[in-house]
Structure 1
């Protein structure tokens, strides 16, 4: 039996054998940092001299320590690294504002509000030097743009196969674990059936060489091999943040809300600029993680049901697209749970059985082909529930209370309601990708 380091070495061996172009997606965080360092260490040990590309999407608003670390990585090892540092106005999620669902870092029309100046190092791509064949970026979501840049680098290099190494770990997210371990993945969606690979376009694969690492493995590797890392984590440690809660995410994403308040202490100069960059940053820093934004013990205002409170909150949203987005997801959830019925873990279904709303039907085991861990039961409601306090895991049951929490968290994607990308959203994304391919 091999340990995670040995397994990663085996994966890197396969990567450099199967792919003639290697790109490492580098965010400046601990996971992407060890991915870069492990790749470089493997290259030096095996005398691989063909350069890899290190790709960094810069969100403009970030800790100074993160910028310093990215600069150090992107300018060191010039014999092995070809840096591509993206400072363009792509779309990034904004979950600190009721008034905007996204923002655009490096928007030239908002230059006076930029958190910092453009980096002055090789490899930076900004609005003043975009290559002629570069993919469209204005108004394109960050993750979509990263995928398109991977395809662009693949075509530009003339490679037969390109691997985009992404330092994600399944420990960090149930969605990540499910995505890599789904039983219905086809051979065509992977390279030779390897579940740590994912085909994204012809000849281009996302590869996850450290997917089975845990947080302790990351820090063990950094210590044992003397690798550089983002010194922001030292500041997090001094501030009392657990190693499992340290995040180097865009501060305006949902994942960054909890740490947004730390900017005021750790990097006050950056903080003063963040407050003026995106509406709602200061509010979220103060109230993120409290009942005001749907966390902890949220209380129902007097005279309201959760349904009437949700309707009231919807009337306060001035942006028509954001409000309609919530309503569209609500309509979808209502239809699903009151017409077809949804599958709940048997334990949750049993909890619900004693105090279920009138007319609730328990329809037995699911009959679809989806692979599930443990027994499940399909439940159908006559009316969409207001609240179901009997079920201990509230994230599993559909209620208007969940919608209220979703709105208060400014979770525009409705992740708290259990939604991923809808078919409509995926269709729009696919159409954009096809349009991009036609342009090239």
Structure 2
């Protein structure tokens, strides 16, 4: 039966109903554990539920280790992966894989646990029976240099096979409060498992589930305090350093999510910071300017004598050729889309554009069958905007947004509305060539 909205219960009670459904519906269950607060609470609450209900069958815990991280994160992951042996089977993945890199203009990806760079690894390979690495894995899907998201997606099918088949679910600790992109990715019915909006079907007889999708960050810390759960003590230091709970991240230092807090590495763990500096080009610059105007996390000003388009041309000219071409591919795609085809914008945004006489055609309601959360209008620009002085600046394409992408080292151009992408075929081919003899 499809999921219904729970009006008169709190998020914890709603979670209990979801866990009851999960354990009744699926033969194989594992938790995708990152070492952060959300996946940690999800795992703890799942184990708490199992003990309360007398469930003794084991669940898997899959952790993708990105090599470069705080010692406190490693300590927490180690506690989790070596504890609760009566209820979990740990899978500690330390595999070479292509990971987006937003700290360097010279490389858009890096390879954690790259055997060719062992001498500059940020930390040694973990030593535990659950560790799966390039030397001992039996992944039939693995290809040298494969993208981390591909590895994560393939793991559920591998896990299902290892369990002898049967219905399989991956529990993922992400919350829609974090971003609108997460909300739209999670809450849907067309790709859900039997109509449950907090699930996504991922293949034959398997799916991903997001039981905490409607929790707030305050709920996460309330659960930790109420039940006395273990958690990554790095959050305590971040709190002492003045970060608000909504701003705390423990992601790999070279990912976009960690840019603003990268400077904390040299404050909290200077010994780790020294190794991070030698791992990927650009870490120091991003640490210094990651939360400043230089990285466009604040309002940026247009240099005198420039339009945003001319400033974009200047910024592109400063980049390495490979990086420049990668951005141009995205930018040209956006220009073609909005000037030749058009796209859906919130009705109030379209009205703002009319009020300022923006060079655009207003084509009525979207003709596609896609469901929207509010009233939308289809808009096509006769010329690509340089900038738009409207309230919802991030919903409208502009050359200014392109400049911000470059200043943020946002290779995926998420700031412009592009989703997380696969690395281009040329990079993949180069990675395969590099690692084919491993």
TM over 0.5: yes
Q: Is this contact kept in 2: 1:96–1:252, CA < 8 A?
A: yes
Matched residue SS, 1:129: coil
**Aligned position for 1:279:** 281
**Aligned position for 2:435:** none
The 2-side partners of 1:86 and 1:20 are apart by 23
**Aligned position for 1:367:** 367
Runs of 4+ in 1 over 3 A off after TM superposition: 424-428
The 2-side partners of 1:241 and 1:387 are apart by 32
Matched residue SS, 1:86: strand
- For residues 101-156 of structure 1, the C-alpha deviation after alignment (integer angstroms, 9 at most, x for no partner) is 1111110101111000011122001122122x443142211121012112111101
* 1:366 shift after superposition: 2.6
Matches within 5 A, 1:7-46: 7-46=14-53
Change (3 A) 1:137 1:236: farther
Q: Is this contact kept in 1: 2:414–2:420, CA < 8 A?
A: no
**Aligned position for 1:166:** 172
- For residues 157-183 of structure 1, the C-alpha deviation after alignment (integer angstroms, 9 at most, x for no partner) is 10311111101111112111112323x
Range that drifts further, 344-353 or 329-338: 344-353
**Aligned position for 2:232:** 230
**Aligned position for 1:328:** 329
Q: How many residues align?
A: 421
TM score, norm. by length of structure 1: 0.91
- For residues 248-291 of structure 1, the C-alpha deviation after alignment (integer angstroms, 9 at most, x for no partner) is 11111111101101111111111111111110100000011212
Of 125, 148, 172, 1:142 maps to 148
Q: Is this contact kept in 2: 1:198–1:207, CA < 8 A?
A: yes
The 1-side partners of 2:65 and 2:342 are apart by 42
**Aligned position for 2:73:** 66
**Aligned position for 1:434:** none
* 1:414 shift after superposition: 0.8
The 2-side partners of 1:388 and 1:292 are apart by 21
**Aligned position for 2:379:** 379
* 1:388 shift after superposition: 1.6
The 2-side partners of 1:425 and 1:58 are apart by 20
The 2-side partners of 1:353 and 1:11 are apart by 45
Matches within 5 A, 1:295-374: 295-320=297-322, 322-357=323-358, 359-374=359-374
* 1:369 shift after superposition: 2.4
Gaps of 5+ in 2: 1-7, 427-438
Structure 2 residue 257 is matched with structure 1 residue 255: yes
* 1:92 shift after superposition: 1.0
- For residues 316-336 of structure 1, the C-alpha deviation after alignment (integer angstroms, 9 at most, x for no partner) is 22142x322221222221122
Q: Is this contact kept in 2: 1:25–1:167, CA < 8 A?
A: yes
TM score, norm. by length of structure 2: 0.92
